[in-house]
Structure 1
C-alpha cells in the first residue's frame, strides 16, 4: 500500500438494539475522518438509514454490494442483508444477535480476502449471538479461530497497555487455566505486539500476581510461587525484560505501571477494572497476535441508553485511529525487517 493511500477500515455494527451504530455514525459525522480512512460498514442501506433517522444524525453514505467496491471519500455500506430487521432499542433479542453475527461474518470474510485492511468491531451481546456457528465467549476467541496467530486481549491507550493471561473465563477457573506454556505464549505475544504494532524495540513487561499479595510466599495460595515466579525467572534469564509478580492491589495506585510498556494481568477484572478506571472512554480493545488488525471500543452494548442519542463515541473513534496506526506500524516494521541496512540507518 502506498504511504498516502487510504486504509479501508471495515466496521461490524454489533447488536442493532445497542449503541453500536450510534457510535459508528457519530464518529463519521465529522467528514474530516474520511481524510484518514475509507470506512466500510457491514449492514444494509435500510438499516443505516433507520439508525441515522432514529438518532437524528445528518450523514450521507454510499451503498455497495461488495467491500472491494468501496469508494474513497465516502462512507460505504455493504448490503449484507436485504430484509428490514426489527430494531428494538434496549432489548436483548434473538434478532439482534442474528444480525450482529451476519455483520461480523461478512466483515471477517472481507478482511481475510484483503478487501478491507483492518476491522473495528462494534459491541455484541455475548448471549444472544450464540448459535451453531458462534459458540465463543466473545470476539477475541472467534477471531482467533478465523485469523492466524496467537490471540491476546490487549487493552490499550498511549500511556497504558494491559493484556490478560485469561480473559472471558469464570473467576473460579482462572487459576487452573494458568500454566507455564500459557504464560510464555502470552508474554511472547505481548512482546511481539509491542515491537511490531507499537514500535517499542525492547519491551518491558510486568506480570501481576494470581493471589492477593502475590500469595505472600505461599501463605495465600501457592500458584505465584510454583507457577508464575519460575517462568518469570526462566524468561528473564533468557533475556526477556519480564518482571513480577506484582501485588495487584497497589500496582496501579502507586503508579508502578508507568515503569512498564505493558502489564499482563492474571484474569479479566484484575486488569480491566484499573484499566477502565484510568482510561474509560479513551481505551481500546485490541486483539494482538493475529495476522490482521482488529480493534474495538472499551464498552458494551449499553442497552440502557440505546436509541436515545446519548452514547459517547470517543472510544470507538480511538479504536479507529488505533487500527490505522497499528496497520501503518506493521507496514513499517515489515519494511525494516526486510531491509536490515535501512533498519540500522533508522536506529542511528
Structure 2
C-alpha cells in the first residue's frame, strides 16, 4: 500500500480565464494537504507564478520538465508550455481553450502511463476547447476514449450519489438514447463502482423514470413500461438490489433518496438539479467505470467571479480527497478480491 503523501495527484488546470487556477492554488496554499498527497499541476511555471502573484498566495512550487522529477511532499508544476500566456479573467478565449487541452492531454498521458495515480480536472469551457483535433463535449467523453472501461458521470457527496443514463445529450434526443442495453450497462457500472470505489457491499440502487410520473400507465409516454421496467426486473432477477422507476418530481423532496446508496437519473438535469441543490459547493463529479480515477469539482468556469479572489475552493478540495480515497479503496478491493480469506476486513480510511 502506498503511503498517503506518495499518492501523486495529477491536476489539469482547466480554463485559465475562469476560476480553475484560483481554486487549485487555494487548495494547495494550505500545505497540510501535502500530508495526504503530492500534487502535480500540468500548466507552466510562468502561468502558475502569474496566478500566485495575482491572488497574492503564499505557495512554493517545484518546477519540473520531466515527470520523473516530481518531488514528494511539494507542489509540483509540470511545464506543458514555455511561452507566456495572456490571461484575461472572465473572457471566453479560443487560445485559452487550447492551453486547457494541452494541460488535459499531458495529465491524461501521465495518468495512462502510471506517472500520476489519479487525475483531478479543473473546469473547462466546453465551447472554446473545440477544434479539428479535439472534438468532445467535455472531460468525460474524452477520458472514456483514452482510458479503458465504461464511463459514467457520477455526482457524489457525503450523503448523495447520482449517476446518469445520458449526460450531455440534447433533451429532444434523450428517449432515443435510453435502451435496455444502456440501462443495464450503466446500472452495472454504478453497482461495480459502489463495490470497488466506495466499499459498499450489496448496494441498493434507485432508478428515476424517463417520463413525468413514470408515464402514468402510458398516458405520458410508454418508455417506462416498455423499456425501463422490464430491464430493472431482469437486473433484480440477477440478484442486484435495483428499485424503480420512481417519479423524479417527488423522489428528492420526500427524502426517499436517503434510503439508497445511489440514484440513477435518466438524463442530465433530472439528476444534476437536485444534486447541486442539495450539495453544491461540496459535491464532486466522479467518472465511474474507468481503469483510472478521475474527479472534478461540481461547478464550471464561473467567469462572472473569475480573478476576484472570491471563488470557493471546497468542491475542488473535496475532489482531491475523494480521488485519494477511491484510489485507496481500489487497492483495498484488489487485495480483498485476490485473497478471499480477507473478505469482510475492509479498512476505513476515514478514521
Q: Shorter-chain TM-score: what band?
A: over 0.9
Deviation at 1:5, TM superposition (A): 5.2
- 1:47 lines up with 2:47 in the alignment: yes
CA distance in 1, matches of 2:187, 2:195: 12
Aligned to 2:340: 340
CA–CA distance in 2 between the matches of 1:333 and 1:344? 11
Root-mean-square deviation over aligned CA pairs: 1.1
Given that residues 199 and 346 in structure 2 are in contact (C-alpha distance below 8 angstroms), is that contact kept between their aligned partners in structure 1? no
Q: Deviations over 1:42-100 (max 9, x none)?
A: 00000001111111211111100122321112100001101011111000001110000
- Given that residues 198 and 326 in structure 1 are in contact (C-alpha distance below 8 angstroms), is that contact kept between their aligned partners in structure 2? yes
Query: What is the match of residue 22 of structure 2?
Result: 22
> The residue matched to 1:41 in structure 2 has which SS?
strand
CA 1:326–1:345 in 2, change beyond 3 Å: closer, same or farther? closer
Q: Please state whether the residue corresponding to 1:318 is helix, strand or coil.
A: helix
Q: Which residue of 2 aligns with 1:242?
A: 242
Give the distance between the partners of 2:66 and 2:36, measured in 1 at CA: 21
Partner of 1:130, secondary structure, is coil
Q: Does the CA contact (< 8 Å) of 1:68 and 1:116 recur in 2?
A: no
Please, what TM-score do these two structures have when normalized by structure 1? 0.98
Classify the secondary structure of the residue corresponding to 2:343: helix
Structure-1 residue corresponding to 2:148? 148
Contact between 1:85 and 1:95, CA under 8 Å: does it hold in 2?
A: no
- Cα offset for 1:343? 1.6
CA 1:269–1:346 in 2, change beyond 3 Å: closer, same or farther? closer
Farther off after superposition, 49-58 or 140-149:
49-58
User: Counterpart of 1:192?
Assistant: 192
Match of 1:125 in 2: 125
Of 5-14 and 278-287, more deviation after overlay is shown by 5-14
The CA distance in 2 between the partners of 1:98 and 1:233, in whole Å, is 46
Counterpart-to-counterpart distance in 1, 2:272 and 2:43: 30
Unaligned runs of 5+ in 2: none
Match of 2:293 in 1: 293
Separation (CA, whole Å) in 2 of partners of 1:127 and 1:344 = 47
Structure 2 residue 138 is the aligned partner of structure 1 residue 138: yes
- Distance (whole Å) between structure 1 residues aligned to residue 215 and residue 68 of structure 2: 53
C-alpha change, 1:143 and 1:60, in structure 2 (3 Å) is: same
Q: Please state how far the C-alpha of 1:341 moved relative to its aligned partner.
A: 1.0
Displacement after TM superposition at 1:344 (Å): 5.4
Report if the CA contact (8 A) 2:209-2:247 is conserved: yes
Corresponding position: 1:114 with 2:119: no
Q: Which moved more, 1:57-66 or 1:183-192?
A: 57-66
- Normalising by structure 2, what TM-score? 0.97
Alignment pair present for 1:259 and 2:231: no
Deviations 1:94-115 (A, max 9, x none): 1110000000000000001111
- State how far apart, in whole Å, the 1-side matches of 2:26 and 2:214 are: 43
CA distance in 2, matches of 1:66, 1:337: 35
Superposed counterparts of 1:1-348, under 5 Å: 1-4=1-4, 6-343=6-343
Distance 1:4 1:101 in 2: 29
**Contact 2:120–2:319 (Cα < 8 Å) also in 1:** yes
Please tell me whether the aligned partners of residues 155 and 162 of structure 1 are also in contact (alpha carbons under 8 angstroms): yes
Q: Which has the higher mean CA deviation after the structures are superposed, 227-236 or 61-70?
A: 61-70
Instruction: Write the deviation string for residues 144-178 of structure 1: whole angstroms up to 9, x where unpaired.
Output: 00000000000001210000000001011111100
Find the aligned partners of 2:82 and 2:3 in 1 and give their Cα distance: 36
CA contact (8 A) 2:5 2:72 kept: no
> Are the structure 2 counterparts of residues 345 and 108 from structure 1 closer, same or farther at C-alpha, using a change threshold of 3 Å?
closer
Q: Secondary structure at 2:197's aligned position in 1?
A: helix
User: In the TM superposition, what is the alpha-carbon distance from 1:238 to its structure 2 partner?
Assistant: 1.4
Structure 2 SS opposite 1:102: helix
Between the aligned partners of 2:254 and 2:214, the Cα distance in structure 1 is 16
- In structure 2, what is the Cα distance between the partners aligned to 1:273 and 1:343? 37
Moved more, 62-71 or 19-28: 62-71
